[in-house]
Amino acid sequence: MKISKEKIYLYFSSTATVVISIPFFYSASIGSDWDSYAIIGTYLNFIDIGLYFPSRPPGFPLYELLIGVCITISEIFNIPMEQFILFVQLVLLVSLNYLVFSFFKKNKNSNYFIYSIGVLSPVFLISGLTAIDYMLGSLLGFWSLYISMYSKNQYKDLLISFTLALSIATRLSNVIFLVVVFISMRKDFKKAFKVVLYSGFIFTSIYLMFYINLYNFYIKNGIYENWVEFLCIFNLTNTNHDFYNRIGRFTLKQIPFLGTLGTIIFLLNFPKLKFNLKNNNFYFFLLFLFFQLSFLRLPTEEGHLLPAFISFAIFISHNKNKIFFTIFLFAFSSNFLNLKFYEVDSIDSAKEINFMLSIEEGYLLQDYNLRNERAQNKDFYYNNSKISVYNAWSTGCPNK
């Protein structure tokens, strides 16, 4: 059986992803991000005291529930918890890889080197191999968009509503997918309104099932007197950056998607790019724009920009410039080796930056080594995350 040229890229990227994941399974660490441990803390608090304290505001209930199910299954079948979680993450990673490929196939004459850049870039791989909600939220969000654009199923509206609701229940900022899907369906306002109504009801119900537990705890202990005070749960933390600090973080955190050299080559060739914003590509442009603006408000983890990165790759996919082969090489190699022109005083909460040229381990290797360091004391971090999450929420919203 002859394999199409396009599918070679899919098979290559999927195989490369699985091979790259092997050391992560061997080390059995859920991630280098503290938020990954906070999710475990949320589960431990619920099991031990029956209270839902979000891993961080405003709560990520569907993904927190998924991790809880993974832990429960691993205990029932005596499977190492970390490895089972990483297996589920790998399934999500390969699934999103395939979905991105499907969008590229719908765009005639796509440049599949751009697709390869996207699914083998450091941020895509790290997000997929970490216990964090970016991958699940993006998969469900883009799935809803794919159904909206290309499905002819008679239950299409219900499927769109369901996948959108689950994406938003995974990560509240994914309401951007709902906005874009609504705009894409605007010519049939009744259907568009029905999708918003159904998805709104579903994801609100999911959030309420979790929030009611926390709300009752606050009312019972006299922390809050009414539901209006409880709205503080939607206040985000870490939004107090000054203008220059915000712009600096926003800009620097775009670099890991392509690596330093890949980003430089891309920017040098940016004027030559042709942007196809017609038809369905217009909605990918809107996703890109809205997620970038969302990230500008809270420029923390690069994974927040995953939907924007995927969208950008799709609406420039028709560019045939051979330079994308070179960009792919540098982007992929930046997983393992990267040229860096700056250093920050702290990886998680940088306050100072020094400009200097150096060659260092790539982003994927850095993440791998950092998560291994933390895995050496993982039981301590699990218990500490349980205590930290409890302390953050037990006297009211941590961001009130």
pLDDT digits (tens, 9 = 90+) for 177-223: 999 999 999 888 899 999 999 999 999 999 999 999 999 999 999 99
> pLDDT value at position 340?
78
Say how far apart CA 265 and CA 255 lie, in whole Å: 12
User: pLDDT class for 344, splitting at 50, 70, 90?
Assistant: low
Say which residue the tokens 């216990």 belong to.
131
Domain boundaries, the chain: 5-234+243-252+259-393
- What pLDDT score does 2 carry? 60
Write out the two tokens for 192. Answer: 């568009």
Q: Chain-wide mean pLDDT for the chain?
A: 92
Q: Is the peptide bond before 299 cis (omega within 30 degrees of 0)?
A: no
Sequence-distant contacts of 355-358: CB under 8 A, at least 24 apart: none
The predicted model scores a pTM of 0.94
Contact 291, 177 (CB under 8 A): no
Mean pLDDT, residues 350-366 taken together: 78
Provide the pLDDT confidence category of residue 353 given band limits of 50, 70 and 90. low
Strand partners, 339: 359
Please check whether residue 194 is in contact with residue 305, taking contact to mean a CB–CB distance below 8 angstroms: no
SS3 state at 242:
coil
Within 8 A by CB and 6+ apart from 324, the residues are 111, 113, 114, 117
Give which of 129, 44, 104 is closest to 281, Cα–Cα. 104
What tens digit of pLDDT does each residue of 226-264 get? 999 999 998 876 666 777 888 988 998 999 999 999 999
More confident site: 223 or 339:
223
Which DSSP state fits 197? H
